[in-house]
Structure 1
C-alpha cells in the first residue's frame, strides 16, 4: 500500500490481473484468440527476414534449459523464446495497434505469455486471461502517457517507443500470472521489476536502422525475466509507476494521467478495440494506401500523376514524410514501410493481401524506377482536418493533379481494421493464412488456426501442442 493506505497503481493492476486470470468477458476472449493467431502468423512470415535470421541465430547461441519454442529455432529457455518470437512478431510492422496510445500491445505480450505457458503447462483459459490482462495493462500504461491537450502520446513526442516500454510491463504481468502459485504481490513485483527493464527509442523510424525490430523481443524477454525474478523473491517498488523516481517521472518527467490506468479497470476493456493491421507497414501510412487505391479504382494510373500531396496529421509527418528526400527514395522494403510517398505508390500500383501485402514491400520494389518516379512527385505535410481526428485515427487526404490538368481529392478519415472499419473474420483468417503460407504447408496452417481459435475450451489444445505444429528451423 501507499502511505495513505490506498493501493498503488501496480497493486491495482495486479489485483485486476489476478481476477482476469480465470474470467474475462466473451468478447475479450474472442479478441485474444484472434490476436494470438495474428501474432503466430506474423512470427512465421518474419522468419524469412535477414534481421530475423540474425536474431534467431543469437537466440540459438544463448543456451539454457529447453523450455519453450522460439519459432524457427526450436526449444530454448522461456526468456529467449519470448525474445525470439517478440522480434518476429514486430518485425514486419504488421502487428496490431491501440489508439490513441499509439502502441502495439500484442507483439510483446503474446510471445511472453506463450513462452511462459509452454514452460509451465498452463491451461488454455489461464493463457487467455493472462494475455488479456497483459494487453490491457500495456494499453492503459500507454494511455496514461497520452496528452489530450496536445492530442498526442508524450512517449512519442519524446522519441520513446511506448510499444516496448509499456510492453515490458504488460508482458511481466502476463508471464507472472502463468507461473505456479503467483498471487497479486508476485504480479505487482514483476511489473515493478520490469519498470527498470523497459526501453525503446524510435529514431530508426525516421532515418533507418533495423534495431526497432528488436524492441518487442526485448520487452517480452524483460517481462519473462521480471516475472521469474519476482517468483523467486526479488521485489519491485510498490510505487514503481507513480513514485517520485518512478516510471512516469523517468520517462515523462512526471506528466501522466493515473486515471487512465485505474478508471473502469476490470469493467471497461480496451482489448477488443485494438486495431488489427490490414497492411504490413507503419500504421500512419495505411490511409494513404487506401486513398491511392480509391483513385486507382477510379481509373487513375501511376503515369497519370503530375503531382500529389499527402495531407496527414502533423505529428506523423516526421515519421512518414521526413526527411522527404529519404522518404521519396527508400533503399529497402523496411524503409518503404515508413514512407508516405511509397504508400501512395503502393496503393496506385496495387498489390496482394488485403490490398497490399508483404510482397509489395521488398527492396526491389523500393528501388523500382517506376515507383521512384511516382514517389518523387509526392509531398507530405500536416493537414488541419487530419489533426482534428488524430490520434483516434490516422487519417489521410490525398490530392492528385493529373498530367491532363484534372485534380482529384480522396479523403480516408478512418483506418481499416478498427471499430469503424473492422476486418471480418474471413479477412483476419486470410491474413494469417497468407503469412503462415509463406513457410508452412496447408495442413499445419489449418491445424494451428483450429487449435488457436479454441484456446480455453474443453476441446482446446495446449500452447505446447500449437508450438509443436510450428516446428521448423531457418
Structure 2
C-alpha cells in the first residue's frame, strides 16, 4: 500500500492544502486575522473562570493527573496536551462570546485555537507554525461546515438534523491544526481526519430546553483533534474516503446531502478566515442587531420611561431561539437565559452597558430579574420580518420599532452585524474586548504583554512563554453562573 493519500478524495485535498500551507505560509491578512482570534480566545478563557462549569471541568481534568505537557489558562499546574485542549476549548465557548462564521453559523476558533496552542506547547513548535496551523484548521472547519449549508434551504443541514456543526467540524479542523504542528505529512493529516470523524459529535437540544452540555462541545472537539493527531503519529489510520465515502462523514451527519465544491473551490487561494465575524457582545449572535438598535435608540435620547412598546422584527428562523416562547424570553431567570433573549438584548442596548456597548457584566442573574428591565421586556414583541428573512443567514438583521408614551414611532434598521466584514471591529475595539475580558484577573501590564506576544506570534520561538503569562490570576472575582435551564 502506498504511503501517499489517494489524490482525488476530499480529505486528501485538504491534507495537501494543510501541508502546503505549513511549508509556504499564509497571506498577510489571514495571518493577522488568525492572531486576533488567538487573542480573542485567550481573553474568553480568562473571562470564563467566573462560571461554575469552568471550575467543574478544571477540577475534573486535574483529578485525572498526567504528564505536564501544556497549559490550562488560569491554572498553574500543567496537564497533557489533550486535557489542556479540552479545558481551554470549554472556557473559550462557555460565554457565547466567541467568533462566528456565516452563513454556516459555526464558531470555529473556540476549538481550533485551544487544540493548536496545546499541541504547539507540547511539541515545542514556534509561533509561525502555530499561526499557520490555526489558519488551516479554521479554514477546514469552515469549509466542512459550508459543505453542509443548503442554499435552497437557507440553513445548515447539520442544524436541521439537530447537530452542532461547531463541534462536529471544529473537531476536524482541530485535528488538521494539531497534525500540522506535530509534523504530519499528507497521509498523517488524512489519517487524523479519518480518526476524528469517528470522534466528532454534538447535538443542540440544550439550546432548546436547557442544560450546560453545550459548553463542553468545543472542548471535546479540541480534545478529539489533538488525540487523533497523536494517535495517527503512532500508526492508527483512517479511510481515505472519510468525507465523501458511502459510510463517511457526510453520509453519517448529513445523510448524503452535501456540497463538495464548498470544500475544494478556491482552496489555498480564497480564504474564509478573515471574514469570520468577531462578537462585540457576549450573547447569542442572533441578538446582536437588537442590541445595536437599542444602543442607537439610546443615542437618540430615548429613556426607559419614554417607552410604550417595542417590536423586534427578525428572521423567522431565529425567533425560535431569541423570541419563543415569548413569555420565557420576556422573563429570563438567569444571566445565561438573558443571552438568548431578544427582549433582554434590546433593553440592554437601550439602557447601555460596558465593553463595546454591552459587556459581560450586563448579563448577570440579578440584572435578568431587575424590575426595571423586566417591565421593559414585558412590552417587547418579537415578530417575523420579510426583509430580514431575505438577508438571513448571511447576516442576522433586526428592524426595531419603538413607540413612545407620547405616540412617536422610531425605527432602527440594522441589516449587518457589527464585527463582520461590512462592519469590522478595529484593532483597538478588539483590544478593548480583550482588556474587558481579563480585567480583575490579570494586571493591565500583563494584559498588554499578552497582547504584544499574540500580535507578534509569528516571530516567537515558542508558545510556552505566552501561555505562562496566563497561569496566575490576581484574583478570581465571584460572579457565579447558574445551571442553565430554558
- 2:195 is aligned to 193
Contact 1:20 1:132 in 2 (8 A): no
Q: In structure 2, do the counterparts of structure 1 residues 371 and 427 end up closer, same or farther at CA, with 3 Å as the change threshold?
A: same
Q: Distance in 2 between matches of 1:236 and 1:284?
A: 37
Q: In structure 2, do the counterparts of structure 1 residues 228 and 167 end up closer, same or farther at CA, with 3 Å as the change threshold?
A: same
Per-residue deviation at 1:5? Answer: 6.2
Per-residue deviation at 1:461? Answer: 5.1
Contact 1:206 1:322 in 2 (8 A): no
- 2:482 is aligned to none
Q: 1:56 aligns with which of 51, 55, 58?
A: 58
Q: Distance in 2 between matches of 1:230 and 1:122?
A: 18
- 1:264 is aligned to 266
Contact 2:139 2:273 in 1 (8 A): yes
Task: State the SS of the aligned residue for 1:381.
Answer: strand
Q: 1:169 aligns with which of 162, 168, 172?
A: 172
Task: State the SS of the aligned residue for 2:71.
Answer: strand
Q: Distance in 1 between matches of 2:408 and 2:448?
A: 49
Return 5+ residue gaps in structure 2 as ranges: 477-486
Per-residue deviation at 1:436? Answer: 1.5
Cα RMSD (Å) of the superposition? 1.4
- TM-score, with length taken from structure 1: 0.97
Tell whether 2:16 aligns with 1:20.
no
Tell whether 2:457 aligns with 1:455.
yes
- 2:133 is aligned to 130
Contact 2:308 2:403 in 1 (8 A): yes
Deviations along 1:116-143, whole A, 9 cap, x unmatched? 0000000111101100000000000000
Q: 1:304 aligns with which of 306, 317, 335?
A: 306
Per-residue deviation at 1:211? Answer: 1.3
Q: Distance in 1 between matches of 2:57 and 2:33?
A: 29
Per-residue deviation at 1:293? Answer: 1.1
Per-residue deviation at 1:447? Answer: 1.1
Deviations along 1:358-400, whole A, 9 cap, x unmatched? 0101111111111111111112122110011111111001112
Q: Which moved more, 1:258-267 or 1:63-72?
A: 63-72
Return 5+ residue gaps in structure 1 as ranges: none
- 2:468 is aligned to 468
Per-residue deviation at 1:304? Answer: 2.0
Per-residue deviation at 1:264? Answer: 0.4
Task: State the SS of the aligned residue for 1:220.
Answer: helix
Per-residue deviation at 1:114? Answer: 0.2
- 2:339 is aligned to 337
- 1:239 is aligned to 241
Q: How many residues align?
A: 469
Per-residue deviation at 1:45? Answer: 0.8
Tell whether 2:289 aligns with 1:315.
no
Contact 2:125 2:461 in 1 (8 A): no
- 2:157 is aligned to 154
- 2:480 is aligned to none
Q: Distance in 1 between matches of 2:381 and 2:80?
A: 47
Q: Which moved more, 1:134-143 or 1:298-307?
A: 298-307
Q: Distance in 1 between matches of 2:461 and 2:452?
A: 9
Task: State the SS of the aligned residue for 2:241.
Answer: coil
Superposed counterparts of 1:102-117, under 5 Å: 102-117=105-120
Per-residue deviation at 1:314? Answer: 1.1
Per-residue deviation at 1:344? Answer: 0.9
